[in-house]
Amino acid sequence: MNTTLSMIGLIAGCAFVTLLPRVLPFLLVRTVRLPPFVLKWLSYIPVCILTALVVESALLESGQGTVAIDWTVVVVLIPTFLTAIRTKSLSATVVVGAIGMAAARMLL
């Protein structure tokens, strides 16, 4: 693959456009003191996003607009969820989930 000046410019432009919405809010909010209710509301965003990702991965489109449950994912979610509740450790939860999913895909 040849690297041209236009390709480097394209990559730099994509990096800038990706970085801008991720960094700009932090720069704007850094000097502003947010009200407590806004901080409480913002604290729920990671949980909501994670829940949406997990539920989306546990559901399959089975045709004609119907949805089916991916039981492999549900089986792996149970020990992962229990690990999260018991340890409250993100690292332990991710390790249990990744190993569980690898084992489930290998065995099932």
The mean per-residue pLDDT over the stretch 16-36 comes to: 88
DSSP 74-106: HHHHHHHHHHHHHH--HHHHHHHHHHHHHHHHH
Q: Is 94 inside a domain boundary?
A: yes
Q: Is 60 inside a domain boundary?
A: yes
Into how many domains does the chain fold?
1
Q: Is 13 inside a domain boundary?
A: no
Model confidence at 78, pLDDT cuts 50, 70, 90, reads very high
β partners of residue 66: 63
Q: Is 21 inside a domain boundary?
A: no
pTM here? 0.60
Q: Is 96 inside a domain boundary?
A: yes
Domain of 85, in residue numbers: 33-107
From CA 43, how far away is CA 66, in angstroms rounded? 33
Q: Is 80 inside a domain boundary?
A: yes
Cβ atoms of 38 and 25 closer than 8 Å: no
Q: Is 3 inside a domain boundary?
A: no
